[in-house]
Structure 1
């Protein structure tokens, strides 16, 4: 019985987290678009398939540049988000440069993981802002 309650609680928690993440990106269209491309390219790279990111790195840079803090929803704008958006843009450009310069996949993945982590910091801060 405890196991069933645990499973129900875990499913409910995950559902709330998913809904929360969706609401953040639905408020900020550019963040949603960045995330869509990020997820389509990052997860294959995690598994050793770099084709998607190598074909789309310029487009990911464009999506990062579209994350303009001047036009983002006011309720999501905190100093932490503003700082991390700048970091995300810088890391996304670095990732693109690594790919352009044909860096080893291990170096590309390390930077891509940093990009992914910073994106999730932004997402988390937008969900639970620190004022």
Structure 2
């Protein structure tokens, strides 16, 4: 019976998992949507700031030193992320709560999350 339960659980989990390369579209709540076919782009990720070009072609930046936590559970984090959401997103704790959305989880990692992790910045998983 345990074997059957394990197979059933595995089957359910497989159906719930979303592939990393599914392509999503913006929700309209984002500050910028990043995808291969979009004009937005990350220009620079440094220990002090993230510089990017938004969908209107305007260069913007997020001061990472201003990304304070929102509550006592988020101390040590610069923002939140929802990579299982449709579309995947990262929202920073800056004054504007800048929200980036991505066409896929894979693109979110290659675009910004890998660089932030390499520099020791953490985002809280909300999924």
* Larger helix percent: 1
Give me the TM-score of the superposition, normalised by structure 1. 0.29
* Larger strand percent: 2
Give me the TM-score of the superposition, normalised by structure 2. 0.30
